[in-house]
Structure 1
Amino acid sequence: MRESNRIEFKSELNDKLEKEIVAFLNNQEGGILYIGLDNDGHPTGIVDLDTTQLKIADRIKNNILPSTLGLFDIVTEAVENMTVIKIIISSGLEKPYYIKAKGMSPSGCYTRIGTSSQPMTTAMIDDLYARRIHTTLRNISSPRQDLKFAQLKIYYQERGLELNKQFANSLELLTPDGKFNYIAYLLADENGVSIKVAKYAGSDKVDLIENEEYGYCSLIKATYSVLEKLKIENVTYAKVTSTKRIEKNLVEPVAMREAIVNCIVHNDFTHEIPPVFEIFNNRIVMTSYGGLIPGQSEEDFFSCSSMPRNRELMRVFKDLGFVEQLGSGMSRILKAYDKSIFQISEHFIKAVFPFDKVMNNGKSFNGDENGNENGNENGDEKLVLKMLMEQPNITAKELSILSSFSMRKISRIVKRLRESGKIIRIGSDRKGYWKINEK
């Protein structure tokens, strides 16, 4: 590693921390500040990692304006077998950022030029302030003020975190005049926002077979619901030959999860247009409203440098484990897919995930290279019986997918189980269920 316009080394924590952080906040691409590396990138060692990280977080939160919550992440990294501190800073939307004690002046405002942080001129400060984005969700009042947050508190408790009586302030859920803002509205137990998930029978929008809405509740709960729904749709196909077993999802799971979270957390909710997820027979399409953030280029978008549209939401999503560290989501997506899966227009960003062509060839199967089925029939019956016991409403197709047996083999096994009296069909073939005869 070398120092650049996005990377800075400091051998130890000193009084220049705020200056470097401010410069990266005002930089178009954000940046990374390492504590514990000398000018050549060699580790110098840090005596007390935990205490130093706490000091850094406290100084960034309290000594810089506007608020930096949701715009930085502090992690550790091993360099030459020694642990150093890595501070990841996003480019902020409310530029210019400045050192609180110095004010919005050339002595308090800095930007990144080459490998150094330089004072901004008065003209630069005035220009950035004139273009500052004030229409953030934090400054928009909630349509309702009778909000409850029981769901949010439960999610925090599950992570071992507690929300005290001041949580509305600490999570920035209030407008400057003390009212609940739109972030609070999105996170509340009840709201008017829903995320749509549509499923079509073919490759176009002609034959709609499912149209679900996940919402009117905390955005966190809705996000969990969407993740679970698409996880179910992202079936695993298995092919077992005489030499090996091939098992693969229609869409790479890690990339899909990151894209779902990005689509939701970076959506522009100021126009009350929620994200949409569409499932076709050959692809999954995720559509987020808002286009690129003002001042952001496509190169910035793909550079894996975080520039969150909704930093307050990003902070909560990170608290709850949806986001590991700033800027990591795009890198995970691009590790599995090419940039071409993204379609960027003035008002929308779409991520189109094509199904794996090799695995999406109709059916999964067990057998040899010629497709001849084999295996322990008695063991196969036990497997199907167990699945019917756990999921009485399961369909033959779902049995085929989960067991990796062909539909023909599933029909044969179910027929034997019925003839032997081990299972009984209750109700119609379409709406009924299986009852296990335990006699």
Structure 2
Amino acid sequence: MDATELNPILKRGENISVEFKRCGVQPEMDTFETVCSFNNRFGGSIYLGVLNDGTVEGVDRGQAIAIERNLVNVVGNPKLFNVAPAIETERIEYDGKLVIRVWVPAGPAVVSFKHVIYDRVADVDRRITSETQIAQMHIRKQNHFSEQRVYRYLKPSDFRFDLLPRVRKMAALKTPGHPWAEMDDMELMRSADLYGVNYDTGEEGFNLAAVMLLGKDEVISRIAPAYKTDVIVRRENLDRYDDRLIVTTNLIEAQAQISEFAKWYLPDRFMLEGDQTVSPRDIIIRELVSNLMIHREFVSPYPAKFLILNDGIHTENASKAIFQGQLAITSFKPVSKNPFIAKFFRNIGLADELGSGMRNLYKYSKPYSGKDPVLDDGDVFEAFVPVRWVEGGTAEGDATIRDETARDPNETVHDLHEQENDPDETVNGLHEQENEQVNDPHEQEYEQVQAPSREQLILDLIRENPAITYHGAADILNVSYSTVRRGFQALRESGTIERIGSDRRGTWRILTPSQPSHE
């Protein structure tokens, strides 16, 4: 914001989302009462260095850093605020004077300051003491969707519009003749409610839902810096992890990456549904991952988690709950927490109607593991689906169920620091994930024909870098993680290569006919 934009705000004066405050060495306590009331209502901006009548007095430039630091320290003090409200500060030059703007978004929870709840009424911060009024504030919070927050200065260049052709194709596969197929990019964004007007604020532009679904990675990291999904396998190395994937990209590619990663580590079993063969594992993964993508509170600093442990799959994500406790299939009443994102996922076939996810988890968990899932809602939504691990290629206690993905004990464990140093070293994205999932009856024949050239490329990579990882090779060869891993395993089984040292820090060695393997 600059002086030109600030000037009409000063002329209009204080209102439900604008407050002027004089500020000396540090903000007064009534500043934080306004922070509390803005959080509890629709959000707003506090202008430090401005008198009640709109006259700009300015703040001492030498105290600017101390003022900003004091704001952060006070809102983060649990003795003062029961829940830390989000704030952002901005310095504005106006007629040679410095104004500090403190932006407070509407938060997902009712906040109190010094054990007092404040609400914004017109241009007044009002104390709320009545139980009825407090209950109404909680109800109002249920109707606030952070995904609808508009960012006026976002441009089309801030988005991955290169994903839209694939989005159109997925929508057409889900619904033949889908109208998105004939729309240009901006028409599609408007149709999906990713660009429009926020009628709470009157602002027009791209919203948070658009950022999370299609934003470039650097845009997402600036608007939602705490957003990430931590995918961890912890079955053997209980002190740390066996493998880990940290996903911070857009929701469409994140859904594909997490699903592919989970499918690699979870046993697959098939069941007959009428005359069709279905995979309970794939359906369970789809529902759990889609829930992490759709029904999370993106303004929360709590990271989403997808954990594969010895007892099963655990997921956690920040939630805007209207119910506290364990969910029951017989009494569950679904409520959309991000309706724009949910609608987008339904249009492209990554989710079904509201409530279907829970029904599918109950329907397919029993044939997959013999047990029901456990779902707990609250400030953090937690889901647990048991897994019956397999030995010798068949499920324990069920010789009729076929397992497709027994875990390889020799698989390289990927170190977190190694992955952080190479941000591209992750499971490949949407394009390869779809290619991997297609159940092509000629796939095995095709790979037998192509294997020698792929294996030769892998040997060349090992000659150049004996410490190369599966992910690194997949990135260079532009193939999926699972494909390159099969190539490495074929070379090991044929006695062409061996692993020297530990899985994490070891290297590969190419064997000659006269060299025995030490594995």
Structure ranking higher on relative contact order (CA contacts 8 Å, 6+ apart): 1
TM-score (norm 2): 0.42
TM-score (norm 1): 0.49
